[in-house]
Amino acid sequence: MYCLVYATCGSLEEAEYITKHLIQEKLAACVNFFPIRSSYLWNDEIQKDNEYVLFIKSRTNLSNKIIERIKSLHSYEVPAIMVYEISDGNSDFFNWIDEQIVEY
């Protein structure tokens, strides 16, 4: 089974840093990232920040390792990380994912 891991980070540099590690360590086959504008409540105050969202493509059995790795690399005290299981898609793409990441 495959998954898409959604995470946010505070800068382009951090997005590139996390992406590099996930791909080099064979935890992710591909990561898309792009700028977003976020509003959220933190310490009882509404915050508005420029962030980057990451879409990490991988296998479901690696999701816990991905979460822990992102947390170890991340600058936020509580990074937003969510895992979405993929129920269907292009089987050729899924085969490519299998070729890019390691078996744990």
pLDDT tens readout for residues 21-37 = 999 999 999 999 999 99
Indicate the pTM of the whole model.
Answer: 0.93
Q: What is the CATH number of the domain that holds 22?
A: 3.30.70.120
Percent of the chain having pLDDT more than 70?
Answer: 98
Whether residue 100 has pLDDT greater than 70:
yes
Whether residue 60 has pLDDT greater than 90:
yes
Total number of domains constituting the chain: 1
Cα 65 to Cα 13: distance, rounded to the nearest angstrom: 22
pLDDT band (50, 70, 90) for residue 86: very high
Its domain, for residue 49, covers: 2-100
In the chain, the amino acid numbered 29 is: A
